[in-house]
Amino acid sequence: MNNTEALKKLQDIELDILIMLKDFCLQHDISWFLDGGTVLGAARHKGFIPWDDDVDVFMLRDDYEKLCRIWDEKADTEHYSCVRSNDQFHNQ
């Protein structure tokens, strides 16, 4: 697999994650939005920026706290995790 194919595969996975997040947030009344290169790619390229390898999602603090609070109980935790950066999880 070359770099272009690998990037496309990664972007396909990221799109699946965004769709799952959108559905979850709609179901639980959590506001969120795309930002940075993700929103630029959606507007300018009708998808991903061809060389972009991440997604940028933002939430207001109250919505983020709600997401973290209900995730383990209501989300598909077999396939997705919500890992919160705090004093237990950080780069050392």
Instruction: Give pLDDT tens digits for 14-36.
Output: 999 999 999 999 999 999 999 99
Q: Which SS3 state, helix, strand or coil, does residue 33 take? A: strand
Q: What is the pLDDT of residue 85?
A: 73
Q: What is the pLDDT of residue 83?
A: 84
**CB 48: neighbour CB atoms within 10 A?**
22
Mean pLDDT of the region 56-75:
95
User: In terms of Cα–Cα distance, which of 69, 55, 70, 43 is closest to 19?
Assistant: 55
Q: Which SS3 state, helix, strand or coil, does residue 57 take? A: strand
User: In terms of Cα–Cα distance, which of 33, 25, 56 is closest to 48?
Assistant: 56
Mean pLDDT of the region 58-75:
95
Q: What is the pLDDT of residue 89?
A: 57
User: How many whole angstroms separate alpha carbon 7 and alpha carbon 16?
Assistant: 14
Q: What is the pLDDT of residue 37?
A: 95
